[in-house]
Amino acid sequence: MSSQIRLRLLPGVRCLFDEPIQVKVAGLRPRQVVSLRARAKDEGGLEFRSSATYKADGSGFIHLDRDPSLGGSYVGVEPMGLLWSLKTNSLHRRFKLDSSLKPFVVKFSVHEGEGEGRMLAEASNERFMIGEGVSRVPLKDGSFDGVLFTPPGKGPFPAVLDLSSYTFERRASLLANKGFVVLALPVMTVKDQRVIEMHLDHFEEAVKFLLQQPKVGSKGVGIISHSKTSDVAASLATFVSGIEAVVMINSCCANTILPLYYKGQHVLPGLMFDMEKMPVLESGAGVSKYVFNNPLAEENKSTLIPIERAKARFLFVAAEDDLSLDSKTYMDILVERMKHHGKKNFECVSYPGAGHMLEPPYGAHYASSYHRAFNRLVLWGGEPRMHAAAEVHLWKKVQEFFRSHLSCGDLQTKPKL
């Protein structure tokens, strides 16, 4: 490596996972062509890599927030391109970063020329899930298994229930950094038993638990959900009190697969699917977008969630290149149903080019992986650049939505590293 060439990560080498960084290179020859690379391992040990070719300016500088990539994993001006274009060579493997305990470490490097040239400089970026002062408390002794994240300070803070299909702490911990008390709760894991039916009572206990937390000041809780968990979120807002704001990301308009119960009563049957309607590509991955039965067909209308009964505010989100679920059509059905009943307590946003797995920004985009419910490999969809832009926009919108509808006095300053 050359001591004259410097690779800088600003504002520092340590930051929160959802914070952008500036990547700058200095000390190059005027107009020198180099390759910038990033490599990282997810918590499963799977390696992800990206690279892009840049040309220095007349003073030997490269600024990724100003200069275009000339080729590689992406082209054009993309300040965070080396992160969102991270990709593994292993087929159909997802980017696994479910825990909040360890930082995601990305190693950046500068190399001669466009290929496998000599390394000229390198730097590491530690991207943390939990900011200073945020507490993480696992809950495994009560009626539900989850993890509670609480911001530093006295509060009062708004409360959010983060529903995920399986264990996933990243989104909840990052929201706690922004000044929310968040309970991360998987819906498909109940005391290590196989889930064959869904009971809203289980989630009602979680809502009550959140509202009893000493730092919580909101009158009700918010819910953030994705895919199958949005069935649960919409049903909770419909049948259970104490919920003020709900984010539904790439969801169905009906209760899917599992029958739904509340207080011992069967409230909604599950909308079923037909695997014969899933085309399978040569890679072995299927497209599950249209496998569910038509929820508007007469025989399936009983699965539709009567969301118009809910008093909460809703944010409906749909990715238009979702290959796992026909989320844009389902969102349109939800909107039409609300309008038909004269309801105005909702807003919606859709993202062209985005796929099913909309998550907090700056993680690696993955196009396919194993689907547990369908027990097979599926495509998730999404053009990487547009998907990454959608995640940045949605993450800000989610926070603004909750702040607008879960207000409880002045929010505390968000934690820093």
Catalytic residues: 227, 322, 356
3-state secondary structure of 417: coil
Q: How many Å apart are CA 287 and CA 92, to the nearest integer?
A: 13
Question: d(Cα 69, Cα 407) in Å, to the nearest integer?
Answer: 42
Return the beta strands (E) in 277-380 as ranges. Answer: 313-319, 346-351, 368-371, 376-379
Half-sphere exposure in the Cβ direction for 285 (13 Å, CA): 19
Max Cα distance, the chain (Å): 73
Strands 22-26 and 62-63: antiparallel
**Could you identify the residue written with the tokens 């989104």?**
171
Q: What span, in angstroms and rounded, lies between the C-alpha atoms of 173 and 160? A: 11
Where do we find the tokens 């059509």?
A: 329
Q: Measured between alpha carbons, how far is 177 from 417 in angstroms, rounded to an integer?
A: 10
Strand intervals (E) in 56-188:
62-63, 71-72, 104-112, 119-128, 135-139, 146-150, 157-164, 181-186
The DSSP code sequence of 322-351 is: -SSS-HHHHHHHHHHHHHHTT---EEEEEE
The C-alpha atoms of residue 260 and residue 264 are separated, in whole angstroms, by: 10
Continuous segment of H or E residues that includes residue 235? helix 228-239
- At residue 78, φ and ψ (nearest 5 deg) are -140, 90
Name every residue whose Cβ is closer than 8 Å to that of residue 191 and which is 6 or more positions away in sequence.
145
Name beta bridge partners: 23.
Answer: 9
Cβ-based neighbours of 63, under 8 Å, separated by 6 or more: 22, 23, 24
Q: Is 18 helix (H, G, I), strand (E, B) or coil?
A: coil
Within 10 A of 154 (CB to CB), how many other CB atoms are there?
9
